[in-house]
Every structure is written in structure tokens, then in C-alpha cells.
Structure 1
Amino acid sequence: MKLKLFVFLTLCTIGFTTAQNASGNGVITGKVIDKNSQQPIPYVNVSVLEDSKIITGGITQENGNFTIKGLPLKKYLVEFQFIGYKKVTKEVTLSENNKTVNLNNVIIEEEAVQLAGVEIVKERSTIEQKIDRKVVNVGKDLIASGNTASDIMNNIPTVSVDPQTKELSLRGNSNVRVLIDGKPSNIDAGQLLQQIPSSSIKQIELITNPSAKYNPEGMSGIINIILHKNSQDGFNGSINSGVTFGETPKVNSALNLNYRVGKVNFYSNYGFNHGLNANRGHINSFRPNLENRQEFGGSNLNTSHLVKLGMDYYIDEKNTISFYTNQNIVAGGGDGYTTINYDSALLRDSKQFSYSDNDNYTQTYDLAYKHDFSKKGETLDFQANFSNTESPEKTDFKFNQTNPTSTRFTTNDIERDTDYLQINLDYVNPITESIKLELGAETRIQKITNDFDETISEPSESYNRVGNSNFVFTRNIHSLYTNFGKQWTKWSAQVGVRLEQYEIDGDFQNVVTSSNSTENINDRSAIKDDIFSVYPSVFFSYKMNDKNTFNFNYSRRVDRPSIGQISPIREWTTPLVESRGNPALEPQFTNSFEVNYTRTTTIGAITAGVFYRQINDEIGRVIYKNPDNNNQDIISYSNFDNNHAFGTEISANLKVAKWWSINASSDAYFKTVRGTVENANTGNQERAEVDVVIFNARMNHNFVATKKLRFNLFAMYRGKDLGLQFERKPMYRMDVGSTYTILKGKGSITARMNDVFETMNFSFDGSIPYRQTGAFYWESQTFYIGFNYMFGGGKNSALQRKQRDQNETQGSGGLL
């Protein structure tokens, strides 16, 4: 009995010892070395995998060494990953006879070789479909298509830039927000995109259905432009300069500088634009008894300076504080004319001349702090952003009428001042390898003051009129959000909700005195609103295999009226047309659904998708008679009925041959627009409804002739659009260009001919409130020649790579 008990205890001891050895006595050690510099690399991610699943891991120390302890005695795959480097894997077998394995020096190699302190970009752009966004990785083919961000946007699937106004739209809708490195900009998007060199762009994210983490504004979503982060010690920079030849030459230049020493990184950017832009157009009006033709024309001379100065201070490997300031100065002015020729000899033809000076000064100050917790991926971000914009405008009008001749002089003096404060706090916690929690809070406070003085004088009739309109508008938005993400083997999901309290308060006062006492006015009105809203979002992704991925998502969005849409102060005027806002305008809410499919082939990726939008109180343009002037129409905004829209789109990024690549996309939108319009004959408001089909397509071909020379061919077609009151005619154009690399790859020369056949213009045909046709033209046919040069050099900084590159939304070293 004692012998049996002894044998039993012995076997238990052996089993326990074996199990103990198998469960935690194995050790893997080594050192990670850079292949080129032969220097150790700190903070490299080391993962230990068993059956393709990560069971443990760690990071390398400052000297590149790593030690993974407590491993069961089994066979493993060890992965080494570091941003900017190729992944390396090693097979390791731990056994009773080999409990400690020393991998010695593990050599890893950079994916993108550093040349003169500037990252070498890939030859060809690629497109990735992620769970909540489409990511365009910008390659040389896109950079060659234009010198600025504005130039290359037309080559991005479903994105368009209006060639005249530079207004940006996504999926045919201009209600889109633009972020730079994940942060909002207080500078007009059209102007900002012209200041960012295309060579500074690393990625463009198309977030057509943003999650609860983002502000819910913008029906068509968000465009996030991610800039290259300089990862070099020492001094680095780039310069871009170009001239566009139209009716007159226009200059665009940008200088980017970066200096890293120790724990401090300094950066500065300067952008310069100068040019005279001409435009013209006409409108034929068939209004009963007032049939006429209006002709418009003029030119505007604008000079802008955009300066950014900033600093990053890397307190230690877990804490970074950043500060930057933007100073944007724009000086503009121009002259224009409007002529009106009536069909009836009984009506007096007229001509109006205008001379304007427009200035804009925006100053922005931004402070950010980032903390990395001990757990990998757990972060806390704080940002405070304040900006002030002053934009005075003075315009003199001279209005002449014939038969009999009379002259009226008008001066408009406008003062606009905007203060904006935004504070964000964001927390990310990867609870497990497959579960992630995001929490955040945001406050936005905005105050806008508009002061409009108008003086009218008609010497021949001894008539004088002086008016003052003042509009003070405040808007406060307070938000809380949470996102919860979960990953399975082939599935991933993300659900979130955003809570927002929206408060507005507006006060409008209008005082008019004239030599004709019957025109004296002293009116005052106010607008006030207080809305609490909930914005949910849901995302699902299914990766069938490496070649097939499906995505489904839903979110609730809002389009809140801008100051220009609600301000009763007129924006511009002609003798027959005036533009002003509508103080009674309500926010527009949208429920947006999407399904996308991505297919990866041997020559590239193809993405197809469908979407549906249910729109409540849709905001749209309306035209109605001016109640104070029966001969003048007012263009304003109104809330239409609840509408809906759905569409399909397909895009492809293909490498047809070594020398030929294609980016192509097409989309079709189907929508029903309902609302109330004015009947010109009766003056009554009537219900209207129209079904609309819009088709757009674009194709960008890139041809590599030699290692240094490449050619580009771009064509686009924007189909007709039908509204309640008019139809916009189709628009199309074709561009050709080439890029030649010089100075051992550090520089390049780009030449491009835009709108080769001069077919791009805006034309329309309207029937409500009466028949109107018209067209507007600008300098669409231009020739551009540009030069880009990258300079500087330095030693890689692993700490800076970890802190800057790992967080793509860190707003450093770029224009904002």
C-alpha cells in the first residue's frame, strides 16, 4: 500500500512539474537591428503567435533588446512589426531541452527608403476599404495630376471640385466636412486645398458615413486629408511653386520646413497665392412683360498668405504636447458689370458697375496634449482650438438707366467678425485584443457679428437713403460620444452613439432713413432654438477572404444652416436678382445607409456600393419675388418636405501593365425632391415634386514612359441635375499632363493642360417661377507649369516614428 502511494505521489509530482514547465518556463530573447544603419531600434512590436493567434508579446527596449518570458514549451511564430518597416517572422520551438531561445540580432528593413529627409512615395495610388471609410494611399500618379490638393481631388473617386468656385463635394453633394490630420480647419476648404502641396499628402480618407466619434454635420460625410509626418532628425523641407496661364498668369507657391533636435520638433509652412481671375455669364429671362437678357462679367484679383508655425515637445515616450498657430491673410478686390436689355422698347435698359475690396484675416491657435498609457493602444487626447476671423468688405455700385438717363450710386460697407472655440477630449481603450472602447466629449462655441451699412444716392432726383443692418448670431454645441468595437475571425463590428445639445441665438436689427420719409424703417427680430439630438451609428464588416470584403453601415447626420443661409442681410445684389438668407431655416436631418463590396484582383481593387438616404426638412435653394420690389427676384433657402435619395457607385484602381495604371469611378443617384415654390403668375405658393437621376463618371490614366518621365490623361463627366426650379446641364472636360523627375529624384517638373477642348461651363434651364436659361464661364482652359523640390536630411528617430506616425491624427508639420 505504501509502495502504491509512493508511486502515485511520484507520478503526480512528475506530471505537475511537466505541466509547470509546459505552462510557463519558456523564454525568447533577442535584439532588433535596422538593416541599413545597423543601429538598434526601440519600441518595435514583438508578437508571439500560436496557430495564427497572438498569445503574448512586448516591445523592444531603448537598446533594441527584448525578452518574452513565461511561455509554454511549444512551437511558435514570432512577428516583428514597426511602422515604416517590413514585417519579419521567425519560427521558434521551445522544448524541455531548449527552454530558452536567443534569436540574436533580428534584422528589419524599411519599406520606404528615406531620401534627403523626405519619404519616397509609391509609384501607384491604391485604395483600401476599411470598416468605416475608404482610404486612398496617394502615389506618384496622383501627385503628377496636380500641384495642389485642390488639383488632385478631382481624380479621387466620388470627389469633385467646382472649377469656378473651388467648392468641394462628395457623391455630388457639397454638404461635406474637410479635416486635416483628423482635425477641423477654420479656413475655407476651397482656399485651404489650394495651399496644400500635393506632394505633402500621404492619404485621403473618404468617410461617407462617419461614426459617432465625428461631428454629425454634413450629409455626404467627411474628407480627411492625412499629411506626411517628417520622421527625421535635423533639418528637412520642400518647396512647391507653379504658374497657371489662363487669360492672365496666376502664381501658387508653398514652402514647408521641419527641424527636429532632441525632444523638440519645430515646423513652419508658408503658402502664397496670387492671381487675377475672370468670369462672365448671361441669363435670358422670359418673365411675362419683363422679358430680358442679363449679361455678367468681371475680374477679381486675390492675394493670399497662409503661415503656420508649430512645435511638438516629446516630454517622454508616453507624453507629447503640441502647439501651432495659423495666420491666414487674404486681400482681394475686383470689378464687375451687369447689363440688362429688355425686349420691350417701353422698358429702360440699364447697366450696373461694381468695384469691391475684400479682406480676410483669420488667426488660429491650437494646443494639444497626448498621453499613451502602459497598455498598448490606450491613449488620452486633449485639444483646444481658438480662431478669430475678420472679413471686411466694401463695394461701390454705379447704376445707369437709359431713356431717360439717370444714375444711382450705392456703397455697401460690411464688417464681419467671427470667434470660434472648440475643445475636445478623446479616450481610447483596447480592452482586449479584439475589443476597443472609445469615449469623448466636445464643446464648440461660435459668435458671429455682421454689420451692413448701405448708402444710396440719386443726384438727379435729390434722393438719399441710408440703411444699417446688424446681425449677431451665437451657436453653442455640446457633445458626448461613445464607440464600442469588436472583432471576430472574419467579422468586425462597431456601434456608437453621440449626444448633442444645440443652442442658437440670433438678433437682427434693420434701420433705414431716407429723403422719402415713407421708406423709414426700424425693425428688430430674433431667432432662438434649443435642440437635443441623438446620433447613432452602426458598422459591420465581413472579410470572406483576402480577395472579398463586405461592409454595411448606418448613421444619422445633420446639416445645420450656416450663417450665410440664415442671415437676413443680403449677400449680393443686381438690379433684378438679390441673394439673402432665411432666418426661419431649420436643420436638415438625414438617416444614411450603405452597403459596399471590395474585390481585390491581381491587377488592383474594385469597389462597388449602394446607399440610401432618408432626408427630413431638406434645405434647398428657392427663388421668389421681392415683396419690396416687384421687378426683383430673391434667391434664398427653404426647408422642403421629407425627401429620399439612393444611389450606386463603382470605383477601380487597376495596374493594367507595368507602364499603365487606371483610376476610374462612376456613380448614379436617384432622388425625389418635394417642396413649395412660388407661381410667378399668381404669386401663390404651390406644391412641387420632381424625380431626379444624376450620373457622374471620371477616369484617370497614368503612363510611365521612363523612370523619370510619366504622362497623365484625365476625363470627367458630370450629368445633368434637376431641381424644383431649374435643370443644370451636363458638364465635362479632359486634361493632359506630364511629370519629369530631376535632381536625382529630389525634384520634379509638372506640366498640364486643363480643359483641352474648353467644354467646361455651368448652364441651366429653369421653368419656375418663370422660364429662364443661362450659362456661366470662367478660365477653365489653362496651362500649368510647376516645380517641386525636396531637401534636407537626417538620421531616423525611432521615438519620433512611434509617437508621430502611429497616430495619424496628430496635427503636426502640416497646413491646417
Structure 2
Amino acid sequence: MKLKLFIICFLSSLGSAFAQAPSAALGSVSGKVVDKATKEPIGYASVSVKEGDKVVTGAVTQDNGNFNIPNLELKSYTLVVQFIGYKTFSKAFTLTSADKSINFGTIAIESEATQLEGVNIVAERSNIVQKIDRKVVNVGKDLIASGTTASEIMNNIPTVSIDPQTKELSLRGNSNVRVLIDGKPSNIEASQLLQQIPSSSIKQIELITSPSAKYNPEGMSGIINIILHKNTSNGFNGTINAGVTFGITPKTNTALNLNYRVGKVNFYSNYGYNHGINANHGWVNSANPGQENLQNFEFRNLGNSHVLKLGMDYYINDKNTLSIYSNQNIAHTDGYGKTIVDYFDTTNNDTYQHFDNENENKTQTYDLAFKHDFDKKGENIEFQANYSKTKNNENTDYDNTATITNGPISKESTALNLIDGVTNYAQFNIDYVNPLSESLKMELGAESRIQTTESDFISTEDGNEYITPYIFSKDSNYDFTFDRNIHAVYSNFSKQWNSKLSSQLGLRAEYYEIKGDFHRFDYNFQSNLTPQTKTETQDDTVTDEIFTVYPSLFVNYAANEKDSYNFNYSRRVDRPSIGQLSPIREWTTPLMESRGNPTLEPQFTNSVEVNYTRNTKMGSITSGVFYRHITNEISRVVYVDPNDETRKILSYDNFDDNNAYGIESSANLKFTKWWAANVSADAYFKTVKGTVQNAVTFELENAQADVTTFNARMNNTFTATKDLRFQLFGMYRGEDLSLQFERAAMYKVDFGMTYNVLKGMGTFTLRFNDVFDTMHFAFDGNIPYRQYGEFYWENQTVYMGFNYMFGGGKNKALQHKQRDANETQGGGMF
């Protein structure tokens, strides 16, 4: 009933807006709002017309910064422009019979952040802006100080969560999310990529929960686009950030951003380095009938990562721009792990597993883009080619021991896993934008993505059983190749119906084809018995071809300068990842092993979203609801290892349709001159589906659970003096439910401070994370049998960092190309 009432009111408002026709005795005011420093247009800024202290009417600027307010009586007014994070602009004007239409031209508003010559100063406080198809988080010093890497600050972003154990990223309670860096994909897993990017290198984080047809439709919950700093100021300038996190062991994080702008050429670079030990431990108590046990886990990883980006923009002339950049990522991890399984029944073999792991990941990316602006204002075409290659090498040495406490039998075995993987990825784009009129814009584009993955896995197992007269040895060689090609075309049409109503309709068509080949060969040795034998034990091939269309629709209605409504619809797809498809085991413990399923099919999602934004004197508040219908859902499945009934296989499978919906709200508020806050809360409702095995009959059974999850965050900034600020952050993540267990609530409080030195060129940061040492993982479950446990990691830490900005030359920042800002309105990448 509430939804019907909302629709009736919405349509009535539209009818009233269309019914108002300007008369000859009325005037209008118009203009364009831009950032004073960068000259970039500012969309969704509040523009109001006041008569004295009374607000007569108003509007919200379009994506290109333009606004037009008609139907004004001929008298004197004051024009007021406001936008979160910017100083208020106001100017008096008078409409007369001789001058009924006043155009203010370009109105440049100034950021609240200090602007020094040649250096772009990062704002003290982060702010969140709701746009037609996304939320944009402008990263300030408060977020930079909350963590040394992108992975750590993500937990402070509304609707985003990072699993503290697996580092898995989720958006709106779902891990099917696509991560882009500067609008481009990466071959690196998101969990690993986010730990490599220093927080100080991040300019913005875009949460695109309902992407338009221009974007790649992968990711059920949408896209998270991380935009790195890129300056275009004249001369040489940059920033350096160094920090140390003190806990049980220290961790270092360093980032260097450099920019040199001379004549028609702009050079820029980002370098980040992370080093440190991450350790965690935990236990699980399992009541598996006949195999009741207590499992103790201990893990420790030493990681080193380097991220380097080098780029150049060549402004050939006013109409042509050439851009080139390269990303080089290197990550190396030395790991150690220990698992002890202590069975309560002494007739069962207690097991001990120890492993040493070395993993190296190298990714190199090269990107070339050319943009041409036509004579017609706003008309442009852009070509882009992107190539990346990722090499991943893993060397894991397992040492297993099994003993019976009341007998002489003892078993020892070792296993060596060697994995070599190579992924090649190429992407080609063409985008064309043409404003057909002042109110209608057309966007057309095409894209091809070609991906090839090869993975070789060698497993060597040696066993020494003291009750037998021989040693058994078995080697296995796995070869997995996977090719995926996607070709797409899209079209978007944007219409500004009047000063209050705008819309965008898009359609994307994709042809998708895959081919995967998996081969397994076993080599057996039995000394003194039989010679070496080679057997091909598995040969699987999977192919698929799919043609699909993805529509999208966006409607934005700005009722006045305070209230705006947004409606989005889009269709999404989740194509199985390499890890979900590869039958090569991902990890193993004495009781469980994880591997993919080559027969997985894509899942599709239809998503609807409605948002409402309210601008107040204290700031802006955005609230929204969303609904997702999922077909052919991909979920986890657990079954008994056919080669060992005491072990389980954790894999993936397709299930029936599913539904998910939720509500969320976020606010940027400035309560007083000295107290400001970002506040957010959300609740998600979904049904979790999967397959579990009956603990008594060992039969596979489909199971499902209804889940309600609540989260809340509040990030406060207290301004003590011009240079001294304090931050207080609190987070609560409510209980969550999976098929097997219920995760307990998690919460923490962080306290920090920033102090500006060296005339604002330097900033010292101090932060105490998890003040009350409350952040850890605990669970309890009864499916398929009772099991409960807890895991702990190094969560209570102290961070000390220093940021210094340097450079010279007058700041004459050129307008950033829209493709760099990854806007849907204008030329850009998918």
C-alpha cells in the first residue's frame, strides 16, 4: 500500500510539473556549476532561489553541472548554490521586464579542502554523494587513517564488508561483486588486490549497485570502482605517505604519488609497498556422530606487495588526447599453517597437519586510449585497448601424521603441491557520445573481451606405514585450460525532460562463449612390487555459448532543492570464476578439501532500486530499498570425498531461483562547526540455498535458510583547531546465517587523530584500532551436525603515519576526461 501511495504521489507531482506553463510575465535563471580548482562540472548540487530568508524555489544541477529555474516572478532574489564538501556560493540578482532571463554562466565553487599551489590537498573528512546510478565516496584523511590498505578502509564504507578471515569482499551482503581500478578490470582476485593498494593512493570509491547498459553486467550486487589519484597540475608535484601498524608484529605501508605537467604532456605515477605478517588462530568443536573431535588451527603469513602505475596523457590539440599507462603488481607470500584434529573416541586416528606455503603473483597491465572531440559540443569518440597478463605460482609442502593413542599404529605422509597458472586478458572498447539536442543524448559502444587461462598442478604424495613392508608413492599431474570470449554492443539514451525530471534507457547485447579442458594423469610407484604406472583418470571438456540482452533504466526526479528521487532497474549476470570452475583443489585440511565444478552455469539477476535524498542544513541523507530476483543461483555444496569417506569436498552448484531485498540509509551530517559525521545503516533479507549431507544416512539433501542481517557504521570527525582533528569510528555487523552455522555479531570502536604541520603540507596521523578488543569471528551451527568455534586475528593495533605534499607551479588543472572519472554520462569505459 505504501508503494502504491508513493507511485501515486510521484505521478501526481509529475503531472503538476508538466501542467505548469511559463507565462509571459515570468522569468528564469540558469548557469553551470563547476569545481573551482579542476573546472570539472558538479552534478546534483543544490541550487535555490531565495527572497530574503525564504526559499522560493530551486533545482538540482544535471550531470554536466547545468541548471535552469523557470517560472520566477519579476523581482529581486538571491541565488544560493550548495554541495557537500564545498563552500556555499550566493549572489543577488533582479529579474525585470527588460531582463527576464539571467544566465550566471559558469559558477565556480570552492572545495572546503585547502588548496595550495601545485598540490591538491586531500579533504579532512570523507563525504558521500548520491548520483543517478551510484554512490561516490570522496576519500578524506579520516578514511585514509582508518587503514593502511584498500581492504582495511572498505569496512568503513556504507554497504561494503570485508570478511576478516578470508578477506572476501561483499556489497549489500553479497560477495558477487565486480572490482574495477580506474574503471578497468584486473586479473588479480579482489581479496588479494585490495590488500595491495595503499589507502593513501585512493581518491574515490564508487558503489555502482545498479550499473547502466554501458557497463560490463558481471556481478550480482554491482560494481565497486576504485579511482586512484591522478593530478594534472602544471609543474612537478606529488605526495608521499608512510605508515607503520603496531600490533603483535609491525606492518609497514608506503605510497608515493608523482605528477609532472609540462606543455601538452602530463606524466603521472603511483607506487605502493606493503610488508608485514598476518597471523590468526582458532578452534572448531565438531559433534559429527562417531567422529566427535576438536580441531585447532594456526596460520601465519608474511606478505610483500608492490604496486606501480606509470602513465602519460598527451594533449595533441584541443580535440585529440592520447593516454597510455601501465600497472605492474607483484605480491609474494610465505605462509605457515598447522591443523590438529583431536578425536574424543580414542579408536579414531588423531591427525596433525603442517604446511609451508610460498605464493607469488605477478600482473602486468598495459592500456592505450585515444579520444577525439568533434566540433559539436559534447560529441566525442574514444578508442581503448587493454592487455594484462597474470602469473601465479604456488608451492605448498604438507606434512601429515595420524596416530592411534592406544595402539602402535602410526602413519606419516607428505604431499607436495606445485601450481603454475597464467592468465592472459585483452579488452577492446569503442565509445561514441552525441548530444542530439540540449536535452537528449545518445551513447553507443562496442566491447570485446578475450581471456585465456592455463593452470598446471602437480601433486606428489609419499606414505610410510610402519605395518607394511613397502613405501607407497603417487604423483598426479593436472592440466586445466579455460578460454572465455565475450563480445558486446550497447546503446544509452539520456533525456532531460525539464529542470526536475531526467531519465536514461539502455540496452546491452552480449555473446558469450567458453571452453574448458581438464586432464588428470596419475603416476604410481610401489617399490619391490610393481614398476611405475601411468593412468589417465579424468578427461573433462565443457563448452557453452550464450546470447543475452541486458536492459537498464534510470529515472531521477528532483522535486525541489531539498528532495530528489531515483529509480533504477538493471539486469546482471554472474559468470562462474576460474576458481569456481577449476576442479583443481584450492586448499585442503585433514577433513575437508575445496575445489571447483567445471559444469557450473551463469546465474542471472534482475535488480530494482529506489532511492530518496534529502538535503538539510546539516547535510544530506539518502535512503533506499532494493529487490533482486536471481535465477540459476550459484551456491556452495558439500559432499563426501568418493575416495575417502572421512573427508568432505566443498564445491559449487546451480540451484533454483532466489530472492533478496533490503533497505539502507546513509547521511553526511555536520552537527556543529566542530562536529561532523558519516552515518549509515542497512538491513538485508535473503534466502541461502545449498546442499548438505545427512550426518546419519550420508545422503545429499537440499537445504535453505532465511537470513536477516543488520549493519551500522558511524564515523565522527571533531575539529579541535584549524590543524588538529579527532576521529571516532564505530561499527556493528549483526548476526549472519549460512546453511551450516550462525555467525555471531561483530563490532569494534576505533579512535584517531590528525595534525597538520609544515603549513599544511604535512599531516601526522595516529589511530588506535579496536579499542576494546572485541572484533573476532564466532559461530554455532547444527547442520548437518552440531559444530561451533571461534577465530582470532591481530585486530587491536596502533597506526602511525605521516603524509607530505610537495611541488610547485600554479595550479591550472585541466578538466579531467570523463573516462577517468568513470561517469556514465559522457564518453568513458565500460
Shift of 1:607: 1.2
Aligned to 2:821: 808
Q: Does the alignment pair 1:345 with 2:346?
A: yes
Q: Residue 118 of structure 1: CA displacement?
A: 1.7
Q: Residue 458 of structure 1: which of 458, 463, 468 is its match?
A: 463
Query: Do the aligned partners of residues 543 and 687 (structure 1) sit closer, same or farther apart at CA in structure 2, a change above 3 Å counting?
Result: same
**Offset, 1:156:** 1.9
Distance 1:594 1:213 in 2: 18
Conservation of the 8 A alpha-carbon contact between 1:148 and 1:197: yes
Residue 758 of structure 2: aligned partner: 743
Q: Distance in 2 between matches of 1:703 and 1:771?
A: 47
Q: Compute the displacement of 1:120 (Å).
A: 2.8
Paired residue secondary structure (1:325): strand
Determine whether 1:439 maps to 2:444.
Answer: yes
Return the offset for 1:803: 4.9
Please say if residues 391 and 417 of structure 1, whose CA atoms lie closer than 8 Å, have aligned partners that are also in contact: yes
Q: Is the 8 A contact 2:627 2:662 kept in 1?
A: yes
Partner residue, 1:293: 294
**Alpha-carbon offset, residue 464 of structure 1:** 0.5
Matched, 1:512 2:522: yes
Q: Distance between the aligned counterparts of 1:671 and 1:242, measured in 2? A: 40
CA distance, structure 2, for counterparts of residue 774 and residue 416 of structure 1: 34
The answer on whether the counterparts of 1:513 and 1:521 sit within 8 Å (CA) in structure 2 is no
Distance (Å, rounded) in 2 between the aligned partners of 1:638 and 1:107: 56
Question: Could you tell me how far apart the structure 1 residues matched to 2:435 and 2:328 are?
Answer: 38
1:413 to 411, 418, 421: 418
> What secondary structure is seen at the aligned counterpart in 2 of 1:598?
strand
Contact 1:411 1:456 in 2 (8 A): yes
Aligned to 2:635: 620
- Other-structure match for 1:64: none
Q: Which amino acid aligns with 2:291?
A: L
- Which position in structure 1 is the counterpart of 2:799? 784
- Among 508, 524, 537, the alignment partner of 1:498 is 508
C-alpha contact 1:147 1:240 (8 A) present in aligned 2: no
Q: 1:106 to 1:581 in 2, by over 3 A?
A: closer
Alpha carbons of 1:400 and 1:328: their partners in 2 closer, same or farther (altered >3 Å)?
same
Q: Deviations over 1:35-54 (max 9, x none)?
A: 99xxxx99999xxxxx999x
Task: Give the equivalent residue in structure 2 for 1:61.
Answer: none
* Residue in structure 2 matched with residue 486 of structure 1 by the alignment: 495
User: How far apart are the structure 2 equivalents of 1:550 and 1:43?
Assistant: 24
Q: Summarize deviations over 1:67-121 as a string: whole Å, max 9, x none.
A: xxxxxxx9999x9x9x99998989799999x9xx9x9x99978656631422234
* Distance in 2 between residues matched to 1:108 and 1:476, nearest whole Å: 45
* CA pair 655-106 structure 1, distance change in 2 beyond 3 A: closer
Quick one: structure 1 residues 52 and 747, their matched pair in 2 at CA, closer, same or farther if it must change by over 3 Å?
Answer: closer
Counterpart of 1:495, as a letter, is L
Equivalent in the alignment of 1:424: 429
Match of 1:563 in 2: 578
Q: Does 1:713 align with 2:728?
A: yes
C-alpha distance 710-42 of structure 1, shift in aligned 2 (>3 A):
closer
Task: Tell me which of 767, 771, 786 is aligned to 1:771.
Answer: 786
Give the letter aligned to residue 808 of structure 1: A
Quote the residue 2:777 is aligned against: 762
The letter of the residue matching 2:548 is S
Indicate if the aligned counterparts of 1:253 and 1:273 stay in contact, CA closer than 8 A. Answer: yes
Structure 1 position 348, deviation (Å): 1.6
> C-alpha deviations, 1:771-806, integer Å up to 9, x for none?
322222211111111111111111233xx5135479
Residue 226 of structure 1 deviates from its aligned partner by 3.1
Per-residue Cα deviation, 1:328-361 (whole angstroms, up to 9, x for no partner): 1112112111111101111121211111111111
718-727 vs 461-470, which moves further: 718-727
Distance in 2 between the 1:106 and 1:540 partners? 26
Measure how far apart 1:732 and its partner are.
Answer: 1.6
User: Equivalents in 1 of 2:107, 2:650: separation in Å?
Assistant: 67
Alignment match of 1:543 (pick from 558, 576, 587): 558
SS at the partner of 2:671? Answer: strand
The 8 Å contact of residues 197 and 240 in structure 1, kept in 2 or not, is answered as no
> 1:354 maps to what in 2?
355
Q: Counterpart of 1:10? A: none
Q: Quick one: which amino acid aligns to residue 509 of structure 1?
A: H
The alpha-carbon deviation at position 683 of structure 1 amounts to 2.3
Contact 2:352 2:400 survives alignment (8 Å)? yes
1:394-421 deviation digits (Å, cap 9, x = unpaired): 1111111223223111111111111011
The structure with more radius of gyration = 1
Task: Compute the displacement of 1:191 (Å).
Answer: 4.1
1:449 maps to which of 448, 454, 462: 454
- CA distance 1:44–1:536, change in 2 (3 Å): closer
Correspondence for 1:468: 477
| Equivalences for residues 216-615 of structure 1 within 5 A | 216-403=217-404, 404-460=409-465, 461-489=470-498, 490-515=500-525, 520-615=535-630
Segment drifting more, 267-276 vs 86-95: 86-95
Q: CA–CA distance in 2 between the matches of 1:286 and 1:301?
A: 34
Aligned in 2, Cα 1:335/1:558: closer, same or farther, shift over 3 Å? same
> 1:347-396 deviations in whole A, cap 9, x for unaligned?
12121111111111111111111112222222212111111111111111
In structure 2, give the amino acid aligned to 1:622. V
Residues 1:298 and 1:555: Cα distance change in structure 2 (over 3 Å): same
CA contact (8 A) 1:131 1:551 kept: yes
State TM-score, norm by structure 1.
0.85
- The aligned amino acid for 2:501 is W
The CA distance in 2 between the partners of 1:360 and 1:285, in whole Å, is: 35
- C-alpha distance in 2, partners of 1:35/1:132? 25
Secondary structure of the corresponding residue to residue 814 of structure 2: helix
- What is the rounded CA distance, in whole Å, between the counterparts of 1:734 and 1:145 in structure 2? 11
Q: CA RMSD in A?
A: 3.5
Kept in 1, the 8 Å contact 2:635–2:690? The answer is no
2:419, 2:819 → 1: CA distance? Answer: 46
Alpha-carbon distance in 2 for matches of 1:270, 1:614: 41
Tell me: CA distance 1:739–1:147, structure 2 relative to 1, closer, same or farther (3 Å).
farther
CA contact (8 A) 2:200 2:255 kept: no
Where does residue 118 of structure 2 map in the other structure? 117
- Specify every segment of 5 or more residues in structure 2 that has no aligned partner in the other structure, as ranges: 1-34, 43-56, 65-73, 824-830
CA gap of 1:334–1:768, structure 2 versus 1, over 3 A, is same
Does structure 2 retain, via aligned residues, the 8 Å contact 1:195–1:254? Answer: no
Which residue of structure 1 aligns with residue 656 of structure 2? 641
C-alpha displacement of 1:127: 2.6
| Structure 1 Cα separation of the partners of residues 702 and 620 of structure 2 | 45
